[in-house]
A and B are shown apart, each in its own frame.
Chain A
Amino acid sequence: MGKNQTINTSQIDAATGILEKMRNSINPEFIGIISSGGLPVTVLSSSTKINPEVLASLAASSFAATSQLARVTNNATYAVMFHEGEDNNIHISQIGGDYLLVIIFANPSEIGKVRIISKRAREALAAALVQAENPILLKNRDAVVEETNIQGDERTRTGD
């Protein structure tokens, strides 16, 4: 298993601050940072219909598939994805190797602005999210789930 990816409060605050500035410029329905593994990191959304968790999973998977498509087509990478829809549009771009910036906006004519602003912001976001030098980890290796919603009794090794 790879090294855990730890994000502390100051990193989130810095990244969210950048997203807020971007939101003021382009007024998106949704703007957020997700991990390349498909987990939401920080999100600003004006829509109650968009589920950040599902969006993160699908956006990251779609981006990963596109990266493989780049390999198949002998391209180094596709760092940006854009989907144009009837009601809104999705712009996804890479922030370093570990994160993606996802912007959902309504007006397709805004794409130029979205591209410019996201390109400018990506470097600042990458700097804000660089892996903490002293990641805070759980110290107890015997950690157990203290409260759980999993049903059923655990059955130890059963044979026949």
Chain B
Amino acid sequence: MALINLAAGEINYKIVYYGCALGGKTTSIQYVYKKVTSDAKGQLVSIATEEERTLYFDFLPLSLGKVRGLNTRFHLYTVPGQPQYNASRKLVIQGVDGIVFVVDSQVTRLDQNVEAYLNMWENLEEQGDSPAELGLVLQYNKRDLSDIYKIKDMNELFNQTDSPYFQSCALTGEGVFEALRSISKQVIAKTDS
């Protein structure tokens, strides 16, 4: 649900990076923070454990230009990927406009990816959202590693919504901005749908 503040001349969108633990959600948002110019970004906030595992969320506000004369503010969040933090995930996705689902491409992480995908679907439906109607982008991460699934196979599993998808390596940033740009365009286009 975009918040349109006409007095401030702003549209605010909430984008959530969802996916299994250690899949690259926080790394993606950190890369964005590192690369965006300082006048376009706010403070990066992380609520994490001492081991730097996301406990509640990471948060990064961005200004990404104008739409029809209104400034766009994108509020990027990540969810904690570990299964036991589902209550936190439900809170973070409240009011979400678009999701970047980050898939860990490694063969050994298939079960965790499937669990995270089903969990996202269930949590969105529980709050009355449909993944098919929300903005959704798939970011197939860790493409630089060797023991990984083919894109075609992962699309069969995770792209039930025929959404745009991107290969990425969050550590080097490859594909991260492409996914962000795609989700941004989707949520803007859906503002008045």
What residues of chain A have their CB less than 8 Å away from a CB belonging to chain B? 1-9, 11-13, 35-39, 41-42, 51, 53-54, 57-58, 61, 64-65, 68, 135-160
Contacts and interface: CB of A to CB of B under 8 A. Distances in A.
Contact of A149 (B8, B64, B75): B64
Given A7-B6, A144-B67, A157 B165 contact: yes
B95 interface: yes
Nearest to B74: A150
Interface of B: 1-8, 11-12, 14, 35-37, 40, 42-43, 45, 56-57, 59, 61-68, 72-73, 75, 87-88, 90-92, 94-95, 97, 128-129, 133-135, 150-152, 164-167, 175-178, 180-182, 184-185, 188-193
B61 to A, nearest CB: 5
User: Which are the 6 A-B pairs with shortest beta-carbon distances?
Assistant: A37-B95, A12-B7, A152-B177, A147-B65, A2-B1, A137-B192
Nearest to B10: A39
Contact of B182 (A5, A8, A136, A154): A154
B138 to A, nearest CB: 10
A5 B97 CA distance: 12
B166 A155 contact: yes
A41 B5 contact: yes
B6 A147 contact: no
B151 A144 contact: no
A64 B87 CA distance: 10
A140 B68 contact: yes
B42 A53 contact: yes
B3 A35 contact: yes
27 contacts: A1-B135, A7-B3, A7-B5, A8-B7, A11-B7, A36-B94, A39-B73, A41-B5, A53-B42, A68-B91, A135-B4, A137-B191, A138-B68, A140-B192, A141-B189, A143-B189, A143-B191, A145-B65, A145-B67, A146-B67, A148-B64, A149-B36, A150-B177, A154-B178, A154-B182, A157-B164, A160-B167
